[in-house]
Structure 1
Amino acid sequence: MESRMNSPVTIVPNLAHALQDLGVSLFASADQCGLPKRTLFLAYLRASQINGDGVCVDLHSRNALSAGDTAERVRTVPAWRESPDFTEAERAALALCEAMTRLSDRPDPVPDDVYREAARHYGEQALATLIAGIAVGNLYNRLNVATRQKANVPAG
């Protein structure tokens, strides 16, 4: 399968800059409130897996590894519930990510128990950063999936 078109990020005037500014804001906020970057990368990775975005799966796997995560944890993100390798806070972030990514899968897309568990582990700014980050990750996924963007992964 080939890409349908170049990424809208490269075509729509100022979109790349706007999205880059969002990323800068999110990671500055994460630094400010103590939200681990690798938690954001795990959430981005999980959303990308759910949405079938190979570009972002590749990118966020690499980002998680660069942020100090282990290859084993990155590989087990799809089975985070069954893996002992994730903290309670990371599990809460991944549950929130799945709920926010699968909005149409249930009548109450982000149930109170999922939200409360995330709020138990993250302060207001960290939770807001996580929610905004998951939303931005889903935005990228939708752009990439709609246009069938391909990861530039070297063979071998």
Structure 2
Amino acid sequence: MDTTNTPRLTNTAGPDVLKAVNLLYKAAHSSGVPGPTLELVHLRASQINGCGPCVDSGARSARKNGETDERLFAVAAWRETPYFTAAERAALALAEAATRLADRADAVPDEIWAAAAEHFNDEQLSGLVLWVAVTNFFNRINVTTRQQAPQNWG
């Protein structure tokens, strides 16, 4: 029997976990980082991790909050497109580095941090780092337990 795409758990987070995550969500979203930037960071980290539910919900949420299809379709290739501001590019680079920690000895090089620090203050940098961590947290749960994006959103 092929169970490659069968979810391993149907309930991946109990009420206590959801309460804690909601507090982290609020902290990241009240750090002063623009909402669209947080949406892009979430989408990019989720793409890197191959998290179908987070890519799906992230793109839908961003679109619902006014993001254009042009920019959403280009997130995976943000370096090669003209659609993102310097601040968004710095946030995306930080998100990629913090998501791919094992890819290089200096996981988040000084130049990536410095570029982000040019556009975001300490509170905002903390919010970005926290949001990338929360995104990676959910990505890892969903990928490990083989959660699928919903087939019908109605």
TM-score of the two chains, using structure 2 as the length reference? 0.92
1:112 aligned residue (110, 113, 121): 110
What secondary structure is seen at the aligned counterpart in 1 of 2:53?
A: helix
CA distance in 2, matches of 1:72, 1:22: 30
Number of residue pairs aligned between Structure 1 and Structure 2: 150
Structure 2 match to 1:144: 142
The C-alpha deviation readout for 1:47-85, integer Å capped at 9, x for no partner, is 000000000000110111122110110011000000100
1:3 aligned residue (3, 7, 17): 7
2:47 aligned residue (46, 49, 67): 49
Once the two structures are TM-superposed, the CA of residue 20 in structure 1 deviates from its matched residue by 1.6
Amino acid at match of 1:143: I
CA change 1:82–1:28 in 2 (3 A) is: same
With 12-21 and 66-75 compared, the bigger mean Cα shift is at: 12-21
What secondary structure is seen at the aligned counterpart in 2 of 1:68?
A: coil
Amino acid at match of 2:20: A
Once the two structures are TM-superposed, the CA of residue 40 in structure 1 deviates from its matched residue by 0.4
* Counterpart contact for 1:47–1:98, Cα < 8 Å: yes
CA distance in 1, matches of 2:147, 2:91: 27
Dislocated runs of 4+, deviation >4 Å: none
CA distance in 1, matches of 2:100, 2:42: 14
**Ranges in structure 1 where 5+ consecutive residues have no aligned partner:** none
TM-score of the two chains, using structure 1 as the length reference? 0.91
**Ranges in structure 2 where 5+ consecutive residues have no aligned partner:** none
* Counterpart contact for 1:7–1:144, Cα < 8 Å: no
CA distance in 2, matches of 1:122, 1:24: 18
* Counterpart contact for 1:7–1:143, Cα < 8 Å: no
CA distance in 1, matches of 2:96, 2:30: 24
CA distance in 2, matches of 1:123, 1:79: 26
Percent of aligned pairs with the same amino acid? 47
